[in-house]
């Protein structure tokens, strides 16, 4: 009983009832769309217990590798060289597609002169990351797609460990072990979450334990795979509608995609035997100011939570905590939180529309239920 009381106290709101009334009004706008919310998981229950506990040897099926690029002339050579080497080492068919998002530098010339085996899809105007991925996916020949950022360098044998997971019919996507330039594991490789005071927090994990569990045959389920290095099933990606334009220009579109896949019973796994190096020299850090990046990330986190938290968690925890955090952030002269909230509120109408659409065609699970299913 003490443990239960402690958990309730941690999520409780330390302010007066007047603030709760304001939070309730904001939350009610989302609650109105959830008339059938409690019937959401029945249609997928029959899937439980039908999945195999082992993976078939499926390491030679055809693969398409897609690399979005914008003005990446200075970083592409190393990336493409490592990708070509990995494609040659793979036993199955492998095509490589670079989607050039209207680069102003000599990226295309670099590719055509030095990597003739690579196909190029060109955008006449800059459309952003999501549209580049969509163009590459539509142009691809194969059902298994590996998406890599232009600053990601895969190890020579990274493809086969990812591909074998697609012997399971319920696999949507797989994440490799993502390391920084010092080959230290990055937490985004395996995305485990928890809800604390109305916010999603990442849970820490240990690579040694992850490798031990994987080698013992335990699937390492993950909320999502990072869009910078992900293997996914093309048919499922298209059925999900790809990345939502709500999150443009970047951040949280991959987390949202993985969450929407889980709502349909399509799973994401972490594969620590596959490794890539992420130098973090890509488009975002090169072309956007640091403050603007932080605002967009925070804004899109609001969007994500408003779309996927349950109505109860939004009304009783998330929105009340916003009313508590906002003045405290402003007192600390932190304008990023306020700016992000203002931008998110301007998109609330679209969030409400999307939230209603998610619950219309398919039974859905809340973010809390997905996190509970993933476990760990």
| Over residues 218-235, mean pLDDT | 97
Give the HSE-up count for residue 324: Cα atoms under 13 Å, Cβ half-sphere.
17
Q: pLDDT category, 8, cuts 50, 70, 90? A: very low
* CA terminus-to-terminus distance, the chain: 23
Quick check: 253 and 130 in contact, CB under 8 A? yes
Residues 306-358 have pLDDT tens digits of 999 999 999 999 999 999 999 999 999 999 999 999 999 999 999 999 998 87
Name, of 37-46, 167-176, 363-372, the range with top average pLDDT: 167-176
What the block records as the tokens of 146 is: 């590996």
| Over residues 145-153, mean pLDDT | 97
Q: Is residue 376 part of a domain?
A: no
| Nearest Cα to Cα of residue 25 among 364, 336, 348, 337 | 348
Of 254, 287, 320, which residue constitutes the final position of a domain?
287
Of 246, 271, 287, which residue constitutes the final position of a domain?
287
**Is the alpha carbon torsion for 349, 250, 189, 204 positive or negative?**
negative
Residues 87 and 14 in one domain: no
Of 257, 287, 317, which residue constitutes the final position of a domain?
287
Residues 163 and 232 in one domain: yes
pLDDT score recorded for residue 24:
52
Inform me whether the pLDDT recorded for 40 exceeds 80. no
**What is the value of pTM for the model shown?**
0.86
Inform me whether the pLDDT recorded for 49 exceeds 90. no
The percentage of residues in the chain with a pLDDT greater than 90, rounded to a whole number, is: 78
| Nearest Cα to Cα of residue 257 among 278, 274, 239, 275 | 239
Q: Is residue 24 part of a domain?
A: yes
What the block records as the tokens of 170 is: 């319920």
Q: Is residue 124 part of a domain?
A: yes
Residues 269 and 302 in one domain: no
Helix (H, G, I), strand (E, B) or coil at 269: strand
Residues 277-297 have pLDDT tens digits of 998 766 677 778 899 999 999
Q: Is residue 371 part of a domain?
A: no
Residue 144: beta bridge partners? 63, 233
Strands 63-69 and 94-100: parallel
Residues 278 and 302 in one domain: no
Residues 184 and 329 in one domain: no
* Residues belonging to the chain: 376
Residues 306 and 183 in one domain: no
| Over residues 270-282, mean pLDDT | 90
Residues 94 and 192 in one domain: yes
Residues 171 and 258 in one domain: yes
Residues 190-205 have pLDDT tens digits of 999 999 999 999 999 9
In total, how many domains does the chain have? 2
Task: Provide the domain limits for residue 165.
Answer: 63-287
Q: How wide is the angle at C-alpha 195 spanned by C-alphas 193 and 197, nearest 5°?
A: 145
Strands 119-122 and 171-179: unpaired
Largest distance between two CA atoms of the chain: 69
Q: pLDDT category, 85, cuts 50, 70, 90? A: very high
Q: Is residue 145 part of a domain?
A: yes
Inform me whether the pLDDT recorded for 53 exceeds 70. no
Q: Which residues contact 372 (CB under 8 A, 6 or more apart)?
A: none
């Amino acid at each position: 009983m003490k443990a239960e009381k402690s958990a309730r106290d941690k999520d409780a709101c330390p302010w007066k009832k007047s603030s709760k009334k304001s939070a309730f009004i904001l939350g009610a706008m989302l609650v109105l769309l959830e008339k059938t919310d409690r019937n959401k998981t029945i249609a997928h229950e029959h899937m439980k217990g039908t999945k195999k506990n082992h993976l078939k040897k499926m390491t030679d099926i055809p693969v398409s590798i897609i690399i979005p690029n914008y003005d990446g002339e200075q970083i592409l050579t190393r990336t493409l060289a490592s990708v070509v080497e990995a494609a040659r080492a793979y036993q199955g068919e492998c095509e490589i597609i670079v989607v050039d998002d209207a680069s102003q530098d000599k990226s295309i010339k670099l590719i055509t002169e030095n990597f003739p085996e690579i196909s190029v899809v060109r955008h006449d105007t800059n459309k952003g990351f999501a549209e580049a991925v969509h163009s590459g996916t539509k142009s691809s020949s194969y059902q298994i797609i590996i998406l890599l950022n232009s600053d990601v360098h895969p190890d020579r044998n990274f493809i086969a460990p990812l591909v074998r997971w697609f012997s399971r019919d319920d696999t949507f996507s797989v994440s490799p072990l993502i390391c920084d330039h010092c080959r230290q594991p990055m937490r985004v490789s395996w995305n485990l979450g928890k809800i604390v005071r109305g916010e999603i927090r990442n849970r820490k994990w240990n690579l040694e334990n992850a490798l031990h569990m994987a080698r013992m045959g335990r699937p390492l389920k993950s909320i999502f795979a990072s869009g910078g290095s992900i293997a996914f099933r093309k048919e499922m990606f298209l059925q999900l509608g790809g990345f939502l334009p709500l999150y443009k220009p970047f951040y949280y579109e991959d987390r949202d995609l993985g969450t929407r896949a889980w709502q349909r019973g399509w799973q994401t796994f972490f594969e620590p035997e596959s490794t890539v190096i992420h130098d973090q020299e890509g488009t975002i850090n090169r072309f956007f100011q640091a403050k603007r990046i932080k605002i967009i990330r925070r804004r899109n986190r609001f969007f994500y939570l408003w779309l996927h938290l349950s109505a109860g968690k939004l009304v009783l925890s998330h929105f009340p905590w916003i009313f508590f955090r906002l003045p405290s952030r402003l007192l600390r002269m932190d304008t990023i939180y306020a700016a992000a909230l203002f931008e998110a509120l301007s998109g609330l109408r679209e969030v409400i529309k999307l939230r209603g659409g998610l619950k219309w065609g398919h039974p859905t699970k809340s973010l809390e239920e997905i996190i509970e299913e993933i476990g760990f």
